[in-house]
Amino acid sequence: QFFEVPFDSNMNRTKNRPLVRGQISPLLAVCFAASCGVPGIALLTLGVNPLTGALGAFNIFLYTCCYTPMKRMSIANTWVGAVVGAIPPVMGWTAATGSLDAGALLLGGILYSWQFPHFNALSWGLREDYSRGGYCMMSVTHPALCRRVALRHCLALIGLSTLAPVLDITTWTFPIISLPINLYISYLGFRFYRDADRNSSRKLFFCSLWHLPMLLLVMFTCKKSFLEKEDKGDLLGGNHGRAMEIRLP
Reported as a single tens digit per residue, the pLDDT across 36-56 is 999 999 999 999 999 999 999
Contact status, residue 186 vs residue 155, Cβ threshold 8 Å: yes
At 174 the pLDDT is: 96
- CA atoms within 13 A of residue 211's CA, in its CB half-sphere: 29
Reported as a single tens digit per residue, the pLDDT across 15-28 is 888 988 889 899 99
| Res 243 pLDDT > 50 | no
The average pLDDT across 200-227 equals 92
| Res 239 pLDDT > 80 | no
What's the Cα-to-Cα distance from 157 to each of 5, 10, 41, 78, 218, rounded to whole Å?
A: 36, 35, 31, 18, 14
At 230 the pLDDT is: 58
At 12 the pLDDT is: 83
| Res 181 pLDDT > 60 | yes
Per-residue confidence at 244, pLDDT binned at 50, 70, 90? very low
pTM of the model: 0.85
Return contacts of 200-204, CB within 8 angstroms, 24+ apart: 201/121, 201/122, 201/124, 201/125, 202/121, 202/125, 204/117, 204/121, 204/150
At 130 the pLDDT is: 86
